[in-house]
């Protein structure tokens, strides 16, 4: 076929603490990520966002998971009010 082959053999690079977050994560994916710290540990970020949006900012600062941080930032960047609070 004319399409380029998809390379699936590449191992995932280990995410380091200094690694930049992934701006490509969709909001749908981000809202399904489960919080790993805080009062809402074990809860999907979408539910946290619905009831306590400020806790999304907390997760960016306190999570040990690069995936949770990516997801939280994706949500923050999709919400002008939250983004403004985060950037203060």
Specify the pTM. 0.73
Query: Percentage of residues in the chain with pLDDT exceeding 70?
Result: 74
pLDDT band at 17 (very low <50, low <70, confident <90, very high): very low
- 29-60 tens-digit pLDDT: 999 999 999 999 999 999 999 999 999 999 99
Q: How far apart are the two ends of the chain, measured CA to CA in Å?
A: 51
pLDDT band at 9 (very low <50, low <70, confident <90, very high): very low
pLDDT for residue 62 is more than 60: yes
Q: Is 68 exposed, middle or buried (0-12, 13-18, 19+ CB in 10 A)?
A: buried
Among 2, 55, 67, 85, CA closest to 29: 67
Average pLDDT over residues 50-79: 97
Among 65, 34, 62, 60, CA closest to 48: 34
Higher pLDDT, 46 or 21: 46
- Residue 75's contacts (CB-CB under 8 Å, 6 or more residues apart) are 27, 30, 31, 45, 46, 49, 56, 82
């Amino acid at each position: 076929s004319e399409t380029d082959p998809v390379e699936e053999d590449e191992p995932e690079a280990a995410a380091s603490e200094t690694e930049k977050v992934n701006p490509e994560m969709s909001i749908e994916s981000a809202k399904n990520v489960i919080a790993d710290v805080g009062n809402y540990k074990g809860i999907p970020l979408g539910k946290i966002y619905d009831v306590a949006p400020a806790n999304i900012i907390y997760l960016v600062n306190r999570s040990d998971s690069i995936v949770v941080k990516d997801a939280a930032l994706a949500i923050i960047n999709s919400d002008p009010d939250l983004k403004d609070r985060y950037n203060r």
